[in-house]
Amino acid sequence: MVTGSILITGGAGFIGSNFVRYWAERHPDQRIIVLDALTYAGNLANLSEFDGDARFRFYPGRIEDPTVVSGIFRCEKVTHVVNFAAESHNDRSMLDPTGLIGSNVTGVSVLLEAASRYGVERFVHVSTDEVYGQIHSGLFREDDPLLPRTPYSAGKAGGEMQVRAHVIAFGTPAMVTRGSNTFGPYQYPEKILPFFITRALDGKALPLYGDGRQVRDWLFVEDHCAGIAVVLEKGQKGEAYNIGGGNEFTNADLTRRVLGLLGKPESLIRHIPDPRGAAHDARYALDTAKAAALGWSPGADFDDALEATVRWYVDHPSWWRPIVESEPYQAYIRRYYGPTLGADL
Least distance (Å) between residue 143 CB and ligand DAU: 19
Comparing CB distances to ligand DAU, the nearer of 284 and 296 is 284
Round to whole Å and give the CA distance between 143 and 128. 14
Query: Which C-beta is closer to ligand DAU: that of 24 or that of 285?
Result: 285
Looking at the Cβ atoms of 72 and 199, the one nearer to ligand DAU is 199
What are the residues whose beta carbons fall under 8 Å from the beta carbon of 304, sequence distance 6 or more? none
Q: DSSP labels for 126-186?
A: EEEGGGG---SSS-B-TTS-----SHHHHHHHHHHHHHHHHHHHH---EEEEEE-EEE-TT
One of 87, 129, 160, 190 is an active-site residue; which one?
A: 129
Annotated active-site residue in 130, 190, 217, 281: 130
The residue annotated as part of the active site, out of 22, 132, 152, 188, is: 152
Where does this chain bind ligand DAU (CB under 6 A)?
A: 88-91, 128-130, 180-181, 191-192, 195, 207-209, 214, 216, 251, 284
Annotation says 130 is catalytic: yes
Instruction: Give the long-range contacts of residues 335-344, CB within 8 A, separation 24 or more.
Output: 335/95, 336/91, 336/95, 336/275, 337/207, 337/272, 340/207, 340/272, 340/273, 340/275, 341/205, 341/207, 341/270, 341/272, 344/204, 344/205, 344/207, 344/270
Question: Whose Cβ is closer to ligand DAU: residue 174's or residue 258's?
Answer: 258
Contact 309, 184 (CB under 8 A): yes
Q: Which residues are CB-neighbours of 231 under 8 A, at least 6 positions away?
A: 124, 175, 177, 241, 243, 291, 294, 296
CA-nearest of 56, 2, 31, 74 to 228 is 2
> Active-site residue 190, yes or no?
no
CB of 121 to ligand DAU, least distance (A): 27
> CA of 57: how far to CAs of 60, 72, 155, in Å?
10, 10, 29
Q: How far is the CB of 232 from ligand DAU (least distance, A)?
A: 19
Q: Smallest gap, in angstroms, from Cβ of residue 26 to ligand DAU?
A: 24
120: helix, coil or strand? coil
Q: Which is nearer to ligand DAU, 23 or 336 (CB)?
A: 336
Amino acid symbol at 266: E
CB nearer to ligand DAU: pick between 111 and 208: 208
Output 166 or 216, the one with its CB closest to ligand DAU.
216
Nearest of 96, 175, 89 to residue 130 by alpha carbon: 89
Separation of alpha carbons 128 and 273, rounded Å: 26
Residue whose C-alpha is closest to residue 312's, from 183, 157, 136:
183
How is residue 86 annotated by DSSP? Answer: S
**Which residue's C-beta sits nearest to ligand DAU?**
128
> What are the residue numbers of the active site?
129-130, 152
